Amino acid sequence: MKKYSLLLFDLDDTLLENSSWYDDGLVQSLTEHPLTKEMDKQLFLKKIKQPPKSLIEKLVSGEINTFEFKRERWKSAFDYFDVKVNIEAIEQLEALFTNTSMKFITVNEYVLNLMNELNKHYEIGLVTNGLYDPQQKIINMGLGDIFSHNKIFHAEQLGFRKPDSRIYNIALKTFSKKPEETIFIGDSWTHDVIGPIEAGMEAIWVNFRGIEKPTNHTPYAIVSSVGEIRDILLGSGSNK
């Protein structure tokens, strides 16, 4: 087996798997805020999670930043309910949601033990497009000692998003690693498989949705949950 020395992880739906932190946090926030407490919370949640395609395209292209995207997403959801809302109210709701939702992120003992074990054999980093503070998520997951601030590469701070090759290259440069020494692990076929492979890395696809491969790219391995990478990376013949 080739000798790999760096593992780069996605966060949401990979390390932070099967978590309802977003849904639970938003519903509770909507319940608490006077502007939304009488609204249909599940319908509002659906509208927030399915913003207009044009808005997503603007975020991906860089036409708007994440702050603007989140603001416009709130506006779009309120528009569905024919409710006019000002910037101050949106900022209040966003702050309430951010504080509330993070409380729903807690330690997953299996993931914690897995990462502690992997950290003995590999250098480990995090590359995420997530819209909300990855450092706080990591701390709440009990992984703060493994993923220190300089090992987290956040699209919002860097100004470009996966699968832009620059975000992978910055991570590689920070760790002083070559692409061929690196495996990327994540759930998004586009961001965590195609992007890393085209940047020269190997990729492990966390296919928890059980879907078919969208393209002919060949990942190093396909797993249904992040826990399955243990035998691949630490089993017999692995890089120990």
Residue 17 has pLDDT above 90, yes or no: no
* Domain boundaries defined on the chain: 6-18+106-234, 21-102
Nearest to 16 by CA among 97, 100, 110: 110
* DSSP 8-state class, residue 180: G
SS3 229: helix
How far the first Cα of the chain sits from its last, in Å, is 11
What pLDDT does 238 receive? 55
Give me the count of residues in the chain. Answer: 240
Both structure tokens of 213: 């491969």
Q: How far is CA 37 from CA 22, 27, 33, 34, in A?
A: 17, 9, 6, 5
What pLDDT does 45 receive? 96
pLDDT category at 2 given cuts 50, 70, 90 is: low
Can you tell me the distance from the alpha carbon of 204 to that of 223, in angstroms, rounded to the nearest whole number?
Answer: 7
What pLDDT does 213 receive? 93
SS3 6: strand
Residue 204 has pLDDT above 90, yes or no: yes
Classify domain 6-18+106-234 at the CATH superfamily level.
HAD superfamily/HAD-like (3.40.50.1000)
Contact at 8 Å (CB) between 66 and 158? no
Q: What is the pTM of this model?
A: 0.92
What pLDDT does 240 receive? 43
